[in-house]
Amino acid sequence: MSVSVILLVVVIISLNLRTDRPTTRAGVIEEVLVDVDSIAATLPAGTVVSTSDASAGSDCPDGSGGEEVAVSRTMTVGPDFDRYAWVDSVARHYEGMGWSVTAKTLDNRDHIALKLVGQHLLTYRVTVTDETGVPQVIIRSTSRCTEPATSMRTGENR
């Protein structure tokens, strides 16, 4: 009976230690993109003219051997896009969901930065700018770290 009790305790502990956080590259990117999609969906219908996504991996800063991925989505918006009303709407929406929201104007009044920190402590930086000559909304975030890549131990699978 003591073996079954120990086994039960081990199972209960392992179930409580399980995390729903993704650990693969695809998983951490998907976790970020869910919120990027959600933020992008707040743009008024018909506003987005074109969209492009980019991502780049780098070593996890904690030295664990994992990887973090910087993700960005650039959306060109039409000239009638009201950036101030949209930023205000997004800020209210995410504050209402319990997120931390900070908004500020950048080097000139037409460039607006919005920092959103979500429930899972992922940070999203949203910039509304027309530096390229066309108005754009750029959403950037960096994923959490993946699990370290496993390496083959000496003598295995030779």
Residues 6+ away with beta carbon under 8 Å from 63: none
Helix (H) or strand (E) holding 123: strand 123-129
Q: Measuring CA to CA, how many Å separate 114 from each of 27, 40, 117, 139, 142?
A: 25, 13, 10, 9, 15
Listed by start position, the domains of the chain span: 22-142
pTM: 0.77
Give the pLDDT band of residue 149 (cuts 50, 70, 90): confident
Give pLDDT tens digits for 62-118.
888 888 999 999 999 998 999 999 999 999 999 999 999 998 887 766 789 999 998
Cα–Cα distance, 132 to 63 (Å, whole number): 37
**Confidence (pLDDT) at 11:** 45
**Confidence (pLDDT) at 154:** 38
Centroid of chain to Cα 147: 17
Higher-pLDDT residue of 76, 16? 76
Q: What is the DSSP letter of 145?
A: P
So what CATH class is 22-142?
alpha beta
Give the pLDDT band of residue 2 (cuts 50, 70, 90): low
Mean per-residue pLDDT over the chain, rounded = 82
